Amino acid sequence: MRRSSRTAWAALTILVTALGATALPADAAQATVCPTGWGSSAKTNAASTTTSVRNVRTGRHTCYDRMVIDIPGAAKSHLGYSVRYVKHLYQDGSGRLIPVGGGAVLEVRVTAPSYDVRTGKSTYPARSGHPLPGVDLTGYRAFRDTRFGASFEGHTQLGLGVRTRLPFRVLRVDGQVIVDVAHNWTGAP
């Protein structure tokens, strides 16, 4: 009896394993579900800091492209921003038009200067109207162009050119403001 029990359990285990392996396609276990519901309306947070922008970098993800504005030492609760689609990017202070490539333009403002408030010395080596230093958008699905607008009266202004008007979200973590732009409206990877 003991031998037939073991044989039955072994047969049942093999059957369950075989059924489990055929019940789900190989890709289903690794299927990516992209977030949806971000929308394309303006997103803002009114906090502010005197801590300075030190870097801007980008990254590619399965569902979205990401821009990270590094503001080391700034607490999440003190990171303010305004991100919105605009028809054209105009430089803060001068009002000069800054051309930004792509089918749509996101104006990204963080309430942090890109200079040291005590000395006035630049903390982020960008020039108005020029692409962001060190950012290469080759191979990105949503991002097309970046431009530095200005750092004026404690705010830093950036232009982000995207393929077309796409949904986006803004996140804050200690020391960073993050802008994610979805690759499409459907949530497909």
CATH code for the domain in which residue 150 is found: 2.60.40.3500
Pick the range with the lowest mean pLDDT from 8-22, 65-79, 155-169. 8-22
Domain assignment present for residue 29? The answer is no
Report the residue count for the chain.
Answer: 189
Encoded tokens for 10: 């072994």
Domain assignment present for residue 35? The answer is no
Domain assignment present for residue 33? The answer is no
Question: How many domains in the chain?
Answer: 1
- Reply yes or no on whether the pLDDT at 16 is more than 50: no
Domain assignment present for residue 130? The answer is yes
Domain assignment present for residue 13? The answer is no
Q: Who's near 173: CB < 8 A, 6+ residues apart?
A: 76
Per-residue model confidence as pLDDT tens digits over 23-59: 444 444 467 889 889 999 999 999 989 899 999 999 9
Domain assignment present for residue 31? The answer is no
What is the side-by-side strand order in the sheet with 43-45?
43-45, 81-86, 104-110, 155-162, 143-152
Alpha carbon distance 157, 139 (integer Å): 24
Domain assignment present for residue 115? The answer is yes
pTM: predicted TM-score of the whole model, two decimal places = 0.83
Q: Who's near 64: CB < 8 A, 6+ residues apart?
A: 34, 35, 142, 180, 181, 182, 183
Domain assignment present for residue 122? The answer is yes
Range of the domain at 116: 43-182
* Element containing residue 69 per DSSP (H, E): strand 64-70
Encoded tokens for 72: 């080391």
Side-chain-side CA neighbours of residue 36 (13 Å): 8
The average pLDDT across 168-182 equals 98
